[in-house]
Amino acid sequence: MEMLDAGPVEAFGKPSPAVVTRGTKAGPGILVTGHDLVDLWNLLKQVEGTDVNVYTHGEMLPAFMYPRFREHPNLAGHYGGPWQKQKTEFAAFSGPIVATTNCILIPREEYADRVFTTRFTAVPGGTRLTGDDFSPVIARARACPPLTKTIEGSFEVGYHRSVLLDAAPAIIEAVKAGQIRRFFVIGGCDGAACRGGAAGARWRLARAAGA
């Protein structure tokens, strides 16, 4: 766990809070979902200097807490919501989708040919990439209809444990002063609409608290 925590920090910089635009820009685009930050970085390096934008989806959203990702000109924002909306959101995204880990639903026929998976991840109708060459994805992005500009708000991300530890003195003082009355621990990557697993626990906590 220490290695998993330290690796991204060493590679992409110390996490910090950031506001992420939710939506798309006009032009060709690629959507990346899953957990593999190295795949996202390799793709960004390969589209660098082009007009192809890259968007995070689902569990890839935390990439924006790392400075090197935020500073990359081709990382354009975040698209979509939780994983259970993939089949409608992926159908509405006109460009290719890259699934870097197994957090992907079996795709609908209408967009399966635009789905690319990496290494051991695979789905029916999709194309599996066995290495780090994303040129087939980039070529498909150029062949697909361009995205339109659609801004749907923003997310605030980046509250990595190190950020909270740095703020610990101020947090403790706020607790002592009665400015903070309770803490919520949120874990898991389920969507908010689920009633089972981590998301279900969050939903039941919110209901119990009267939120």
Q: Please determine, for residue 41, whether its predicted confidence score (pLDDT) is greater than 80.
A: yes
Range list of H helices, the chain: 2-12, 37-47, 67-70, 86-92, 109-112, 135-143, 161-166, 168-176, 197-208
Please tell me the predicted confidence (pLDDT) of residue 1. Answer: 87
pLDDT of residue 199 exceeding 60: no
88-103: pLDDT as tens digits: 999 999 999 999 998 8
- What whole-number percentage of the chain has pLDDT above 70? 89
Which residue did the predictor score with more confidence, 191 or 174?
A: 174
Other CB atoms within 10 Å distance of the CB of residue 74:
19
Provide mean pLDDT across the span 107-125. 96
Q: How far apart are the C-alpha atoms of 96 and 113, rounded to whole Å? A: 8
CB atoms within 10 A of CB 75: 23
pLDDT at 190: 60
pLDDT for 205 equals 42
pLDDT reported for residue 193 = 56
- CA atoms of 146 and 16, how far apart (whole Å): 32
Where b means 16+ CB within 10 Å and e means fewer, 183-205 reads eeeeeeebeeebeeeebebbbee
pTM: 0.87
pLDDT, averaged across the chain: 90
- CA distance linking residue 136 with residue 139, whole number of Å: 5
Per cent of the chain over pLDDT 90 is 80
Q: What is the pLDDT of residue 192?
A: 56
- In the chain, the domains with their CATH numbers are 2-155 (3.40.50.2030), 159-208 (no CATH)
* Confidence grade of residue 208 (pLDDT, cut at 50, 70, 90): very low
203: pLDDT strictly greater than 60 = no
Q: Is residue 81 over pLDDT 90? A: no
Q: Hey, is 95 helix, strand or coil?
A: coil
Tokens representing residue 152 in the block:
């749907």
- What is residue 105's predicted lDDT score, i.e. its pLDDT? 94
Residue 21 has pLDDT above 60, yes or no: yes
